[in-house]
Amino acid sequence: MSNPRIPRPFFCGNWKLWGTLSDSVALATGVRDAVASVTTADVAVAPGFVALDAVAGKLKGSAVAVASQDGYWEEKGAFTGEVAMVQIADCGASYAIVGHSERRQYFGETDETVARKAKAALAAGLVPILCIGETLPERDAGQALTVVGKQLDGTTANLRDDELAKSVIAYEPVWAIGTGRVATPAQAQEVHALIRSKLVHKLQARAQQVRILYGGSVKPNNVAELMKEKDIDGALVGGASLTVDSFASIVQKGVAACTRS
């Protein structure tokens, strides 16, 4: 007999800059139907902002939750172009991705701004999915653990323990995002173990409940090996979340691989 894994696995598709409104609704509906029988994991999709409301409407009452890809910390005011966490929650989203490496690389995000966004997400009733990860030069210089540890400290500095305990951490090595070059399970586990140990230091036993996702070229053919690792609790999936078949297959194979017997 198999026991459900603790923490409950979580798979989130990050659609990035993709799709029309009708593309987004169709993909969300397809994912909803394809994973309807999955009862031992949480699943979410992160459409673009303009599709957030429509996708949340289609997924309401289903097992698939909605995440935003970003969000701003102020609730209102003269911040042209920004979308507040409270507006995201009002659309029916449950999660907000913050600090994705593409936001850091192209839009000047820093650990400090990511920390403010995570805090605002929690205040709005959203669960932040906090992204951290090293670049290739940093890994090649042997600095992966130092860089990730510093990012974790910086992005969670202003969270209370109860806020940190309900957050999701996504380890996404920058060199593996969208490159087809996935971290080996051992490479990913080494960093996840560091993240877990830092969480244990702050949260003691509650740290075991925090989901630590791996992200970076996760596909149906590599998710099982990753999910067998002790501290890998799910995946943040970019490219392979853009078709129903491949994302549903990642969820199903991921769930099957991590169910303990």
Q: Collapsing DSSP states into helix, strand and coil, what is residue 128? A: strand
| Catalytic site includes residue 192 | no
Q: Which is nearer to ligand PEP, 72 or 175 (CB)?
A: 175
DSSP at 18: -
Shortest gap between Cβ of 215 and ligand PEP (angstroms)? 4
Contact letters for ligand PEP, residues 130-169 (x by CB under 6 A): ----------------------------------------
Q: Could you tell me the sign of the dihedral formed by the alpha carbons of 141, 144, 145, 148, in that order?
A: positive
- DSSP letter string, 56-121: HHHHTTSSEEEEES--BS-SSSS-TT--BHHHHHHTT--EEEE--HHHHHHH---HHHHHHHHHHH
Q: Residues 100, 109, 138, 192: which is the catalytic one?
A: 100
Helix (H) or strand (E) run with residue 129 in it: strand 127-132
Closer residue to ligand PEP in complex, CB, 216/234: 216
* Closer residue to ligand PEP (CB): 116 or 219: 219
Output the residue with the shortest Cβ distance to ligand PEP: 238
Whole-angstrom Cα distance, residue 67 to residue 49?
Answer: 10
Annotated catalytic residue, options 102, 172, 192, 229? 172
Using an 8 Å Cβ cutoff, are 174 and 132 in contact? no
Q: Which of residues 9, 10, 11, 14 is near ligand PEP by CB under 6 A?
A: 14
- Report DSSP state, residue 133: -
Least distance (Å) between residue 47 CB and ligand PEP: 13
Applying the rule CB under 6 A, the residues between 202 and 261 that interact with ligand PEP are 215-218, 236-240
Under rule CB under 6 A, how many of the chain's residues touch ligand PEP? 14
100 in active site: yes
Of the candidates 31, 56, 164, 177, which one interacts with ligand PEP according to CB under 6 A?
177
SS3 call for 202: helix
Assigned token pair, 42 = 């949480």
Closest contact distance (angstroms) between CB of 239 and ligand PEP is: 3
Residue type, 219: K
Q: How far is the CB of 88 from ligand PEP (least distance, A)?
A: 18
Amino acid letter, 121:
A
Applying CB under 6 A, the residues found at the interface with ligand PEP are 14, 16, 172, 177-178, 215-218, 236-240
